[in-house]
Structure 1
Amino acid sequence: MISRFSKAFLLIIFALFVIGSIALLHPPSRSYMDPWTGDFFGEGGVEKDLHVNQKPPSPPAKQDQSVHGGVIMAKLGNATAKAELGRATWKLLHTITLRYPESPTQDERDALNNYFHIFSRVYPCGECAAEFQKLLKKYPPQTSSRKAAALWLCYVHNQVNARLLKPEFDCANLDSTYDCGCGDSPVNSTPKSKQNSDPMDLELDPTRDRDTGVGMIRGGR
């Protein structure tokens, strides 16, 4: 007869065999229960299943949409504020183009081009911005060199002056009129003229001498 010890030993061996067989057929897995829904999360934990169930993040807006979008600002009804803003803005834009590199890289060209288009969206005068966007479509920014950028902006400036029935500005005097005092190379060699008034005041006639009223010879033609 088999002793009690032998029976217990055989029973333990059999139990271990059964447990081992189950382990081979069904490998252990970690599962987690959601206490609110009762759902189980499988191997990898809650984070993995939540990541799988989440919607993919929205792709960022394309650069073309943000650069070439519509006007953002509303109409500016204050005529005095509009005129002051215009004078300051033209001074900023002309100074930018007059400080632009002589031989820009492609990255620098893209930066200036994008700047003008973004500027046309966020300019505080909505109706002015809309007009500027029309000019950008008709006359795309020229960014190949400092001279090209400066003369392009001067041409666009004169298009605005013509629409507002203001006198045409002499593009040959850009470097003297908008000299920032930075000591950089000028666009042309025109000597700086004596000016006691604000050169950004577009109400003045730049084609005539401020003191005598005598018509000045137009250059660059």
Structure 2
Amino acid sequence: MCTRFTRAWFFIVIALFLLGSLALLHAPSRIYMDQWTGDLFGEGGVEKDVRVHPDRPDAGVQGGVIMSKLGNATAKAELGRATWKLLHTMTLRYPENPTQDERDALWNYFHLMSRLYPCGECAAEFQLLLQKYPPQTSSRRAAATWLCVVHNEVNARLGKPEFDCAHLDETYDCGCGDEPISSSPTTAQDNPMDLERDPSRDEITGAGLINGRR
């Protein structure tokens, strides 16, 4: 006759055998993490339970103009001068031998600006220029010269004189230190690239208007 210990041991062996059989019949469940959202998903593997991922962070680079028309002429002119200074200084400080990531960043920047620029009609024109003259990102010289050509395209449309692209670093002090720049800083008054008319001042006398700066 089996003792109590023997019967208990026998039942334990049977239970382990049954559990092992179930494990063989049903593979362990697998959980996967969505790399974009961090959500856990999936029984049966990625192939069967894959979902449409949200848009990549650079998905909004291409698209139409977002901002509406800017009707304030003074604000438009000041915005234009500040933007050209920013863009020219940025390209003058751009690496001479950029990595692919740095090239992608500059390319995306110009296209994002063409969508988000606060002056809607200006942004639409810039988008047309980007289609005609795609951004050049292979080097500092290429980027700075490309931007100067685009700026001169705008000047030509406005009936303004063309700027010599060979003297960009003399006009826009990039702060690079070891690169030649003009010995005396260029003021807004004699800046040859500051070609937008300032509507806050009288064109003949130069006197500040009511809403202008004196």
Q: TM-score range by the shorter chain?
A: 0.5 to 0.7
- Match for 2:189 among 193, 197, 212? 197
Contact 2:93 2:174 in 1 (8 A): no
Compared with structure 1, are the counterparts of its residues 193 and 171 closer, same or farther at alpha carbon in structure 2 (3 Å cutoff)?
Answer: farther
Deviation track 1:14-67 (CA, whole Å, cap 9, x = no partner) reads: xx9xx99xx89x97xxxxxxxxxxxxxxxx9xx9xx9569x9664121466311
Partner of residue 177, structure 1: 171
Contact 2:77 2:196 in 1 (8 A): no
| Pair member with larger Rg | 1
Partner of residue 5, structure 2: none
Q: Which runs of 5+ in 1 are unaligned?
A: 1-8, 10-15, 28-43, 205-221
* Cα shift at 1:159: 0.5
Distance 2:106 2:42 in 1: 42
Distance 1:70 1:91 in 2: 24
TM-score (norm 1): 0.62
Deviation track 1:140-177 (CA, whole Å, cap 9, x = no partner) reads: 11111111111110000010111122222221221111
* Cα shift at 1:68: 1.5
- Indicate the percent of aligned positions where both proteins have the same amino acid: 69
Q: Which runs of 5+ in 2 are unaligned?
A: 2-7, 20-27, 32-39, 44-48, 198-214
Distance 2:41 2:152 in 1: 57
* Cα shift at 1:88: 0.1
Deviation track 1:62-95 (CA, whole Å, cap 9, x = no partner) reads: 4663112221111111111000000000000000
* Cα shift at 1:129: 0.8
Distance 2:42 2:94 in 1: 50
- Match for 1:149 among 143, 154, 161? 143
Distance 1:194 1:94 in 2: 14
Q: Please give the root-mean-square deviation of Cα atoms over the aligned residues, in Å.
A: 3.9
Instruction: Point out 4+ residue stretches in structure 1 off by more than 4 angstroms.
Output: 50-53, 55-58, 189-196
Listed as ranges, the matches of 1:114-193 within 5 Å are 114-186=108-180
Listed as ranges, the matches of 1:50-69 within 5 Å are 58-62=52-56, 65-69=59-63
Question: How many residues are matched?
Answer: 180
